[in-house]
Amino acid sequence: MRLSSLADYAVVLMSAASRHCGAALLAEGKLNASTLALETGVPLPTTQKLVSRLSAAGLIESTRGIGGGIRLARPPASISLADIVEAVEGPLAITTCTIDGNHDCALEDSCTVKPHWGVINQTIRKALNDVSLASLAEAPAAQKIKSMEHTL
Amino acid sequence: MRLSSLADYAVVLMSAASRHCGAALLAEGKLNASTLALETGVPLPTTQKLVSRLSAAGLIESTRGIGGGIRLARPPASISLADIVEAVEGPLAITTCTIDGNHDCALEDSCTVKPHWGVINQTIRKALNDVSLASLAEAPAAQKIKSMEHTL
DNA sequence: CTAAATGCGACTAAATAAGTCTTATTTAGA
DNA sequence: TCTAAATAAGACTTATTTAGTCGCATTTAG
């Protein structure tokens, strides 16, 4: 039920990248894997690996060569946590039996549990979809931090 | 982001157990790990392991000895998916940084992402809490199954 | 007191994920 | 046009977690 650490890192990296993505894209210093690793504290090799996956998923665009680098493929407001998590971890489903085309479960149709997972999946997906990169970059409301201490 | 298969099994086992828990607790045939394994198709050793954890978490009660067995510790309506998942997987948190008392993250306070995880955690927890064992045992509404095909 | 049935905990093996390294590609400068 | 430097992309190795198996301790009917 926990997010993989790679997905966690990916969110941090994308958040950092969006801060570099002002009016002009590659304006304030060139943005590349090394820069991101330095800013976020994520190990460089891991950062490179994640950059690859995020690029393959179409969330960032990369130009190689001597003056190359990376940039967000879309504006921060149109990239959600769901996009990032899904890019790194694959289909966003809490149980494998709800992934379309999967028929490994012996119970299948007679299973009374399965339909409930669908509802829960939908809820989780919505929660992750409602948070965009743009809102992540905003300064955290002190109110939210305070209230969080009582949620777990 | 996926549920561990152990937690998945645990839900199926508890669901099966609740069907055996009518008016009289140990009435219809004795309920033990072997019976559950047979009914659900979950491997016996794995079932025994899960029974141990669920018992330790206080969700089921076990009596050993020659006429022993297991039974639900509480009525099905007051046992939720959150209880079961948490019993098997530990604290219900999508990221380790939101678990109380954890300070492994180097970013900590300056992290703009953290407060959002708290909100998402709360949402997921609520979704799992809203589904009780009692509702799981009910026949799945055909309507739900149909609509699920379009959720993922 | 004995024996059978059961739950409980420790151990081993497999799968997955994280991290490291090497290779291929591109472009500025000579 | 060629060379070299900088970068992303992909393959590999290692480590951690997870699933599965086995043997032991405990309990109670006879």
Options 1.10.240.10, 1.10.10.10, 3.40.50.300, 3.30.590.10; CATH of B5-91+133-141: 1.10.10.10
Lookup: nucleotide whose C1' is closest to B31 CA: C6
Supply φ then ψ for residue A40, to 5 degrees: -95, -25
Share of chain A above pLDDT 90, in %: 20
pLDDT band of A59, cuts 50, 70, 90: very high
For residues B134, B138, B141, B146, the Cα torsion angle rounded to the nearest 10 degrees is 80
**D5: residue with closest CA to C1':** A66
**In chain A, which residue's Cα lies nearest the Cα of B5?**
A95
Residue for token pair 């828990």: B21
Task: Quickly count: other Cβ atoms within 10 Å of residue A85's Cβ.
Answer: 23
* B61 reaches A (C-beta below 8 A): no
* Single pTM value for the model: 0.86
Residue pairs spanning A and B at CB distance below 8 A:
148
Span B6-54, pLDDT tens digits: 899 899 999 988 887 653 444 456 788 888 888 888 888 889 899 999 9
Contact B152 A91 (CB under 8 A): yes
Domain ranges of chain A: 5-144
Check whether B59 has a pLDDT greater than 60: yes
Check whether A78 has a pLDDT greater than 90: yes
User: What is the CATH code for A5-144?
Assistant: 1.10.10.10
Check whether A113 has a pLDDT greater than 50: yes
Question: Which of B33, B80, B28, B74 is closest to B53 using CA atoms?
Answer: B33
What was the pLDDT predicted at B62?
87
Contact B115 A152 (CB under 8 A): no
Query: If 0-12 CB within 10 Å is exposed, 13-18 middle and 19+ buried, where does residue B90 land?
Result: exposed
Span B113-139, pLDDT tens digits: 888 888 888 888 999 999 999 988 765
